[in-house]
Amino acid sequence: MSLIKVGICGASGKMGKALIKAVSLDKNLELVSALEHIENENVGKDAGEVANSGSLGIKITSDPEEFFSKSNGVIDFSFAEASVNNLQKAMNHKCFYVLGTTGFNNKQVVDIREVSRNMPMVFSANMSVGVNVALYYSELFAKSLDDDYDVEIHEIHHRDKRDSPSGTALALGKAIAKGRNIDLEENSIKTRWGIEDPRKKGEIGFSTQRGGDIIGDHTITFAGLGERIEISHKSGNREIFSNGAVKALKWLQQQPPGCYTMANVLGLN
């Protein structure tokens, strides 16, 4: 494996800091650039110092052209609108791209997949190895259990998380819908406030909590008559996401243009 020159988008966020540490500790990777919004207070500061990893000699920049010109592999955990704009510039600089940002609307997802026709990309709502195993088995369970088993997806995250339900919860819903060969949007309910009717058969329910510094817990319940089956994943630290993103970046280096998932990286497809 040749040395990958890595750029990190959203460098001063919670995930950005974890990624800076993970990349700086990996002998096959070289951190060469870090990107933040022009109004971010950390622009101009040393990326390693911002991440509490010691000085790395890499200043956080707000200039996308400078950022992408230095990078050949990019990891992006920023915000939806910023990520879509970043992808176009990354394509122009022939980068390969690991995209872990969530909260995209349908049009943005279409735009992302269009860009991936010209650039290798891993696009996943959650880079954790454990979560992606949970996604795999959620689809298998859904194939095996008919709609006599009601499905509920519960997630809880820290108080600062903006999108709801989480991207991981929605990915779990899509996996279950795929397993049952149904459309998620037509068969999901994301709130029950004010609803006094019983649940509809085949409905996939979502519930969300926000509070404290919880990194991310997800539980999928298949509730039948007389029994329940649950798949649960609890995140103890952000290293599980940064390590997964690094794993994806290394795998992606050898891939042709296309939109891949962590299932491809882990050989689950």
Fill in the DSSP letter of residue 209. E
The residues, ordered by sequence, that sit 6+ positions from 237 with a Cβ below 8 Å of its Cβ are: 215
The residues, ordered by sequence, that sit 6+ positions from 196 with a Cβ below 8 Å of its Cβ are: none
Q: What is the largest CA-CA distance in the chain?
A: 60
Is the distance from CB of 212 to CB of 158 less than 8 angstroms? yes
Q: Which of 21, 161, 218, 247 is catalytic?
A: 161
| Helix (H), strand (E) at residue 74 | strand 73-76
- 161 flagged as catalytic: yes
- 157 flagged as catalytic: yes
Q: How far apart are CA 63 and CA 35, in angstroms?
A: 7
Count, residues in the chain: 269
Is the distance from CB of 99 to CB of 76 less than 8 angstroms? yes
Fill in the DSSP letter of residue 234. E
Q: How far apart are CA 198 and CA 89, in angstroms?
A: 49
Q: Which amino acid is at 1?
A: M
Q: Give one DSSP letter per residue of 102-153, joined into a string.
A: ----HHHHHHHHHHGGGSEEEE-S---HHHHHHHHHHHHHHHHS-TTSEEEE
Q: Which of 157, 218, 233, 247 is catalytic?
A: 157
Which residues does the annotation mark as catalytic? 157, 161
